[in-house]
Structure 1
Amino acid sequence: MNITQEKTGNLNAVVKIKIEPADYSEKVEKAIKDQAKKAQLPGFRKGMVPAAHIKKMYGKSILVEEVNNLLNDTLSNYIAEQKLEILGQPLPKMDDEREFKWDYTDEFEFDYELGLAPALEIDLSSKDKFTEYVVKADKETLESRIKNIRRSYGKMTNPEVSEEGDVLYAELTQLAQDGSVFEGGITNTATLRLDQVKDKEILKSLVGLKKDDEVTVDIQKAFEDAAVVAKALNISEEDAAELKSDFKLHIKNINRLEESDLNQEFFDKLFGEGTVTDEAGFRAKIQEEVESMFKQDAERKLSNDIYEELLKKFPLELPDEFLRRWLKATNEKLTDEELAEGYDDFAKNLKWTLIENKIIKDNQIEIKYEDVVQAAKAKLDAQFRMYSPSPLPEDQLAQYAVQFLQEKENANRTFEEVKAIKTFDHIKSIVTLEPKEIDYDKFVALEKK
């Protein structure tokens, strides 16, 4: 057997593998004998089929399989021995001029294209600076959160006159262009949330209504959301998006969720008995909770800023043409249009993966199974807390985490999440982070840029 490598570019190479009968004959003969022992053919007892008969019937397919196995093993071992860092997988290079007899005497030659990873050196220091935003809750955001919490623990009432934030229970009837009822048109009874009304003039017309009042509304203009309109009229979103008619609203009832009183019973329900005893303490707790959520947003922005900056600081060349061919070869349903649209994002993510792997390798960062289990437990705990404030017992949470990680996709995704966290933590331990306080509304505007 002879293996050679030829560089065809900075990041491309072709590996040639020549195989002689001596390389594969013994393997093929053994495979034929093994098949003969297992074969069940008419006229022969099980295990008594002559090897020559198997060779005559199935010899060519066995030869092809064994040569392919030999090629795969040889190529994998060669890449490992030569310490080649490849991208994607080797692609067999087709040669229409080569024809093999497959008669057990052939000398085979196969060529494989390789896409090679670019050389990379990561140089980070305290001279690399990043802004670490400390997001503060502005008054409007804080008041909105407090209002939502109080309403969540409040009680439903039926006031006589509607106000902003109420829910109208109304019968909706489609109107013709002249304002008369559209014969055979849409009618439905539904609840309409006034906090979802986008048009200010329409909202104004829905405030101050009483039971049995009627009002005409351009429902499409009111909500500017096909999904909301579709739900209110019990039609498809496609039909809702095309709807042009006005609707008559006949008010059947007005619902209002009254805010809970700021008393000890309310505080105890939220935070546990005696934890908070007055409004000032309540507001401080809510501010702490809100800014804790903002901290997660700020951490995501910091990680994204690091991601973008390192991609600029360490520009990488890729074997793009090879990678495009590889993506097409390994994704049969991938169209040329989809490849053209998605390749830049694929290449960007691949470049980051190379940077990430280099940081992990150079700094001997370990990702242990225990780290992955802990991440899975944290993820599951957060999910369970959405439905119940009481935490799961530790042993039960651990059991759920193990079950969760038995799914290969869950395990791989969680591993990659831990890998990313450890990489960013390492980077943040080296570079300079400059804290900067910012109001939430300004932070949101910053993220949209």
Structure 2
Amino acid sequence: MNITQEKTGNLTAVVKIKIAPTDYSEKIEKAIKDQAKKAQLPGFRKGMVPAAHIKRMYGKSILVEEINTLLSDSLSNYIAEQKLEILGQPLPLLDNAKDFKWDNTDEFEFDYELGLAPSFDVNISSKDKFTQYVIKADEETLDKRIKSIRRSYGKMSNPEVSEESDVLYASATQVNADGTDVEGGISSTATLRLDLVKDKAIAKTLTGLKKDDEVTIDIKKAFDDVAVVAKALNIPEEDVAAITDQFKVVVKNVNRLEESDLNQEFYDKIFRAGLVTDEAGFKAKITEEVEDIFTQDADRKLSNDIYEQLLSNHKLELPDEFLRRWLKATNEKLSDEELAEGYDDFAKNLKWTLIENKIMKDNNIEIKYEDVVKAAKAKLDAQFKMYSPSPLPEDQLAQYAGQFLQEKENANRMFEEVKALKTFEQIKSVVTLDQKDIDYDKFVALTTG
């Protein structure tokens, strides 16, 4: 077998693989004999089919299969031996394809195009400076979080007059501008969560209402969310777009989730028994929780700043035309328009992956299975805390993490998250981080503006 490589560009090459009969004849004979031993054909006892008969019937298909296997193995071994860093997968050059007799005497030749990764160094030092924001929990945010938790553990009541966080059960009827019912319009029992009303004027209209009170509102404007409107009116989401009229709302009942009392029973429900014994301790724990979330937000901002800066500093060249052909070859449903629209983002992410891999390699950073398990547990724990601050028992969390990682997609995603975390930790250990205190609302404006 003869394998050669020819550079066709700065980051592209063609590998030529020539296979002579001496490279495959022995493999073909063995494959034929193996199949003869297992074949069950009319007129022959099992295992007694002559090899010549198998060769006559299946010889060509066996040859094709063995040549494909030989090609795949040879190309993979060559790439590994030559230490070629390729992007995507090798693409067969169909234009160079030759006609073969497939009769066990052919000298085969196949050409594959490779896209090669650029050679580069990651240049980072203490001269690279980034702002690390420190966000403190303000009283308004703390009050909202505390109120939410107290309501989660509270009890339901039916007050006479509605307030801004209540739920109205009402009849909702689609009406014309003159107040008459729309013929064939929507008429349903509605559930209106006032905390989801985005229009302040309408929110004010819906507070202070009693049973049997009647108001007319623009429900689409009130919620400004197709899913919320559909759920409120108990209709399919696809029907929301056609709504142009207002709704007459007649209150049937007002529901309120009363806040739980701040007592020991409440503290023990959401924290480990005895961990919190008074209101000050409760607020301190909630402050810790909120600021932990803020820290995660600040870390994401820092990571994004590092990501953008390093990409800007390292102008990596890619074999773009090869990569476009590879994307089309491996995604049959990908249209030219979709490729054109999405290629820049694909290339940007690929460049960052190359930078990540280089940092990992240069610093001998390894990812162990226990790292992935730890990350999965942290992710699941954070999700459970969205519904309850009370932590899951360690054995139960470990069980959920094991089940979560059994899904290959989840395991791959967690591996990539650990890889990103370790990469950013390495970068942050080298660059200069300037800490800066910032109010939460200003931080939000900074990240969304």
Which residue in the other structure is 1:171 paired with?
171
Which residue in the other structure is 2:89 paired with?
89
Residue 356 of structure 2 is aligned to residue 367 of structure 1: no
Q: State the secondary structure of the residue aligned to 1:95.
A: helix
Which stretch shows the higher mean deviation, 439-448 or 204-213?
Answer: 204-213
User: What 5-or-longer segments of structure 1 have no aligned partner?
Assistant: none
Q: State the secondary structure of the residue aligned to 2:446.
A: helix
The 8 Å contact of residues 372 and 418 in structure 1, kept in 2 or not, is answered as yes
Residue 336 of structure 2 is aligned to residue 358 of structure 1: no
Show the 5 A alignment for 1:14-413.
Answer: 14-95=14-95, 98-272=98-272, 275-385=275-385, 391-413=391-413
The 8 Å contact of residues 217 and 249 in structure 2, kept in 1 or not, is answered as yes
* 2:83 maps to amino acid: K
The 8 Å contact of residues 135 and 291 in structure 1, kept in 2 or not, is answered as yes
Q: State the secondary structure of the residue aligned to 1:106.
A: coil
* 1:231 maps to amino acid: K
CA shift, 1:358, in A, is 0.7
* 2:5 maps to amino acid: Q
CA shift, 1:380, in A, is 3.5
Cα-to-partner distance string for 1:219-261 (whole Å, 9 max, x where unaligned): 2222222222211222222211220112111111122233344
Which stretch shows the higher mean deviation, 192-201 or 339-348?
Answer: 192-201
CA 1:312 to 1:286, structure 2 compared with 1: closer, same or farther past 3 Å?
A: same
CA 1:390 to 1:253, structure 2 compared with 1: closer, same or farther past 3 Å?
A: closer
Q: State the secondary structure of the residue aligned to 1:242.
A: coil
The 8 Å contact of residues 138 and 441 in structure 1, kept in 2 or not, is answered as no
User: What 5-or-longer segments of structure 2 have no aligned partner?
Assistant: none
The 8 Å contact of residues 188 and 232 in structure 1, kept in 2 or not, is answered as no
Q: State the secondary structure of the residue aligned to 1:352.
A: helix
The 8 Å contact of residues 270 and 390 in structure 2, kept in 1 or not, is answered as no
CA 1:249 to 1:402, structure 2 compared with 1: closer, same or farther past 3 Å?
A: closer
CA 1:218 to 1:369, structure 2 compared with 1: closer, same or farther past 3 Å?
A: closer
CA RMSD of aligned residues (A): 2.1
* 1:193 maps to amino acid: R
CA 1:341 to 1:370, structure 2 compared with 1: closer, same or farther past 3 Å?
A: same
TM-score (norm 1): 0.93
Which stretch shows the higher mean deviation, 40-49 or 202-211?
Answer: 202-211
CA 1:266 to 1:28, structure 2 compared with 1: closer, same or farther past 3 Å?
A: closer
Which stretch shows the higher mean deviation, 93-102 or 7-16?
Answer: 93-102
The 8 Å contact of residues 171 and 189 in structure 2, kept in 1 or not, is answered as yes
CA shift, 1:274, in A, is 5.2
Cα-to-partner distance string for 1:94-123 (whole Å, 9 max, x where unaligned): 136721111211111111000000001012
CA shift, 1:66, in A, is 1.2
* 2:105 maps to amino acid: T
The 8 Å contact of residues 150 and 260 in structure 2, kept in 1 or not, is answered as yes
Which residue in the other structure is 2:7 paired with?
7
CA distance in 1: counterparts of 2:406 and 2:142, whole angstroms: 41
CA shift, 1:92, in A, is 0.5
The 8 Å contact of residues 97 and 110 in structure 2, kept in 1 or not, is answered as no
CA 1:273 to 1:48, structure 2 compared with 1: closer, same or farther past 3 Å?
A: closer
Cα-to-partner distance string for 1:376-408 (whole Å, 9 max, x where unaligned): 333344445556665555445444434433332
The 8 Å contact of residues 18 and 108 in structure 1, kept in 2 or not, is answered as yes
Which residue in the other structure is 1:448 paired with?
448
CA 1:410 to 1:163, structure 2 compared with 1: closer, same or farther past 3 Å?
A: closer
* 1:105 maps to amino acid: T
CA distance in 1: counterparts of 2:266 and 2:60, whole angstroms: 80
The 8 Å contact of residues 269 and 390 in structure 2, kept in 1 or not, is answered as no
Instruction: Report the number of matched residues.
Output: 449
Which stretch shows the higher mean deviation, 112-121 or 156-165?
Answer: 156-165
CA distance in 1: counterparts of 2:395 and 2:269, whole angstroms: 27
Q: State the secondary structure of the residue aligned to 1:241.
A: coil
* 1:151 maps to amino acid: R
TM-score (norm 2): 0.93
CA distance in 1: counterparts of 2:430 and 2:414, whole angstroms: 25
Q: State the secondary structure of the residue aligned to 1:430.
A: coil
Which stretch shows the higher mean deviation, 382-391 or 206-215?
Answer: 382-391
CA 1:259 to 1:385, structure 2 compared with 1: closer, same or farther past 3 Å?
A: closer
The 8 Å contact of residues 189 and 234 in structure 2, kept in 1 or not, is answered as no
CA shift, 1:64, in A, is 1.3
